[in-house]
A and B are shown apart, each in its own frame.
Chain A
Amino acid sequence: MTYFPEEVVEHIFDFLSSHRDRNIVSTVCKAWYRVERLSRRSVFVGNCYAVRPGRVMARFPGMKCLSVKGKPHFADFNLVPHDWGGFALPWIEAAARGCPSLEELRLKRMVVSDESLELLARSFPNFKALVLVSCEGFTTDGLAAIATHCRGLRELDLQENEVEDHGRQWLSCFPDSCTSLESLNFACLKGEVNAGALERLVARCVNLRSLKLNRAISVESLARILARTPHLVELGTGSFTIEHGAEAYQRLIHAFQKCKSLKSLSGFWDVAPRCMQSIYSICPNLTVLNLSYAPAIQGADLVKLIRHCFKLQKLWVLDCIRDKGLAVVASTCKELQELRVFPSDIYGTGTAAVTEEGLVAISSGCSKLNSLLYFCHQMTNAALITVAKNCPHFTRFRLCILDPGKPDPDTNQPLDEGFGAIVRSCKDLRRLSLSGLLTDKVFLYIGEYAARLEMLSIAFAGDSDKGMVYVLNGCKNLRKLEIRDSPFGDAALLENVGKYETMRSLWMSSCDVTLGGCKALAAKMPRLNVEVINDTDESDEMEENPSDMHKVEKMYVYRTLAGARNDAPEFVEIL
C-alpha cells in the first residue's frame, strides 16, 4: 500500500461522514486506527451497555459530539419496567474526566438526573448543544443549571421527555448576556414559564431559528413572541385557543404574515378549528406540519388547511383526517416524503377513521413517499400490493392495524402476501413493523427479500419457530429485532446464536422462550448479555427458584464489550 503521511489520511477521513464508514476504516490497519480515533469528532453509541463510558473517552480524546441510547425501543410502550437502567450519569462523569472539550450531547431513552445535568453544566466550558429525547428522571431544576452555567449554549432540545415541574424560574436563569440560542424546544414541559422572560430571551437571541413552546404558552404570548422573531424557521405553538376575542387573533395573523421563513409548524394543543385560518398565509411555504396533538381539527377543517400546503414533505396527523382527507393530501402534497397517521381514539370505541383506502390514495399521489407510520383499523393484501407498486422507495414502513392478528377483511387471509410485496418492491427498506394476521410465510419473504433491513418489529405474528429462523438466517443487515406475543421458542432462539453478535440487540416478550433456553444462549455466547426481566408486579408470586422450563416473560439480549452491567435492578437477571 502506498505510504501517505498521516495528515493526508486524516484529511481523507474528513470526507467520511457516517459512523459506519469511520468504524470500518479504523479496522484496516493500526496506522489508520490511530489516525481515525484521534481525528474522530462525533461518536455514536447505540446501546449504552455495549461499551464502558471510560473506554469511549479513552479511544476518542478529541470527541466533540456524543450520542448515547439507553433503553430498548419497546420501553416507549411501557414494556420495560421503570427502573431497568440506562443511566446518563456514568457517561457524563466519564466525559467530564476524559473529554472536557465536549460540545454536544444527545441522549435517547435514558435516565437523566438533575445531578447529571448539573455536572454537565459545570464540566464543559465549550458546551453548545443538549438534545434529550424520551428521557426521564430530571426536573426543571436541572434545566435551570443548564441555563445558568452553559455560556454560549446554542441548542436546548427537549423532545417527549418526562420532566417534573419544580417551577417556572428555570427559563429566567438564562443570563441577560445569553444571546447565542439558535434552537429552543421545551414543548414537553407541563408547567408554566415566565412569559416576559421568554419574550426577552427570544428577542435578544437574534440567531434563533427553531422555537417550540409548551402548552402553557397562550396565543397572546405567541403573538408577542412572533413579533420579535420574524426569522424563525421552525415553530411549535403553545395552546392555540383564543381567549380574548378578535384583537389577539388579528395580532396573531399579522405576526404570522411577517414570518416569511417559517417552514415547520407543530404544537396546536387545544386548538379550535376556527383558529387554523390564521396560518393559511404560511401554509404554501411549509415543508413540515405536525397536527398530531390537535384532535379537535377534523375532516373538513383539516382538508381546508391541507389544500394550501403543496410543498409539504413531512406530515404528522391524527386519523380523524379520514380516508377522504388522505385523498386530498395525495392530490395536494406531491413532495411528501414522510407521513405519520396516529390513532385519535386509542381505546377503540368508535369509528374506523382510516383504512387501506387512505393508504392506497396516498401511494398513488405521493410517489416520493419513503417513510410511513400508519395506524389503521384494517388493511388488505390488495392494498399493500398496490402500495408496493406505487412506492418502491420506502426506507421505513411501519403499519399498525389496531386489532392484533386481524386478517384481510375482504378475503379473510393473512397479510403475508401484502407485506411480501412490500419487501420485494422496496429494496432500500431499512425499517419494518408488521401487524395483522401473519403466518410464518411473511418471515420467509422477509428473510429472502429484505436484504437491507436493519430493524424489524413483530407483534402477534407467526406460527412456529421457523418464522423467526427465516429472519435470523436471511436478513444479513439486521441490527435490531424486537418481538412480542409471538410463538417463537428456544429452538428459534438457539438456531443461529452467532447472529446476535452481528446485531445490536434482540428483544422478546410474551413469547415461548424458557429460562433454560436463555441460560443455554448465555453459556454459548459470553460476549452477549442475556437479561431476563421479571415483571415487578408478579415478582412476589414467583417461586424462589423457577425451573428451566419456566417461560420467560421478557428477555433482552445485546452484544457487549463491557460484560454484565453492575447497575441492574433486582428484577433483572443477567445470565
Chain B
Amino acid sequence: MELELGLALPGSDRTPELGVHGEKRASLCRKRGVDEMLGKATLPLFIRKDNDEDGDDDSRQSKHLQELNFSGSRVLVGWPPVKMWRRKSDDCGRRRANCVKVNMEGVAIGRKVDLCLHDSYQALFLTLGQMFPKKQHDGEESDAAYYKVTYEDEDGDWMLVGDVPWELSVLKHKHKKAK
C-alpha cells in the first residue's frame, strides 16, 4: 500500500449533525488521511484523545490504550475485525474502479475521477467543477457552460464529452481534459 501526499483539500463534507438529544456534535473524524479522490487507500494517522478527565490515569485499561497510541502511522493487526477475504475483495474493488485522469489546461497537477461513482454527465461535470479552480470571470456560475471537457478516444482524437449516451461512454474513457 503506497502512501501518497497531495495538495488537495480533505474531501469530506462533514456537517455537524444533531445527536440523540438534539445537541450538536463536533466533527467526528479524528483520523486525517490523504484526499480519497486520488483513489488510493492510505494509512491512517492514528490520533486519539486520552481519557485523563475521568481520573483514570492509573487504570490499566487506559494505560493499555496509551501504549497503542503510536505517533507514527500504524495499523492494528486484525482491526477492524473484517474478514481477510472481504478486505481483499474491497482492494480489488478499488483497483477496478473506473478511474480516469483529468487535466485542466494551465493547471500543473491533475485529478482522478472514478466514473463508476457517477451516473450521468451532469454528475460528472459537478464533480469536475468542485475539483478544479474557477477563474473569476464575469461571475458566471454555470459549470456546464464554463468547461469544455474533452476525451481522447481509441483513435487518438480529442472529442467533446457528452455526445454519446452515458452508459456507453463509461468504460471507454481513459483520459480527459478540461479547458
Contact = CB atoms under 8 A, between A and B. Distances in A.
A409 B25 contact: yes
A486 B64 contact: yes
B28 A459 contact: no
B42 A349 contact: yes
A343 B82 contact: yes
Using C-beta atoms within 8 Å of the partner chain, give the interface range for chain A. Answer: 35 or more
Interface stretch (A110-118, A293-301, A543-551): A293-301
B51 A407 contact: yes
Nearest to A489: B60
B137 interface: no
Given A343-B80, A380-B19, A410-B19, A350 B29 contact: yes
A227 interface: no
A437 B68 CA distance: 14
Contacts of B129: none
Nearest to B78: A77
A346 interface: yes
B71 to A, nearest CB: 17
A412 interface: yes
| Chain B binding surface SS class | loop
Given A160-B83, A301-B119, A484-B78, A350 B20 contact: no
B107 interface: no
A410 B23 contact: yes
Interface string A95-137: 0000000000000000000000000000000000000001000
A383 B82 CA distance: 24
Contacts of B87: 346
Given A272-B167, A293-B93, A400-B81, 10 more contacts: A242-B167, A245-B168, A270-B96, A346-B87, A347-B75, A348-B31, A375-B82, A380-B20, A402-B80, A460-B64
Interface of B: 11-14, 17, 19-21, 23, 25, 28-34, 36, 41-44, 48, 51, 53-54, 59-61, 63-65, 68, 75-87, 89-90, 92-94, 96-97, 114, 116-117, 119, 165-168, 170-171
Interface of A: 74, 76-79, 134, 160-162, 188, 215, 241-243, 245-246, 249, 269-270, 272-274, 292-293, 295-296, 298, 301, 323, 342-352, 355-357, 360, 375, 377-378, 380, 382-383, 386, 400, 402-405, 407, 409-410, 412, 433, 437, 439, 457, 459-464, 484-487, 512
- Listed from nearest, the 4 A-B pairs whose CB atoms lie closest are A349-B33, A77-B78, A487-B60, A352-B28
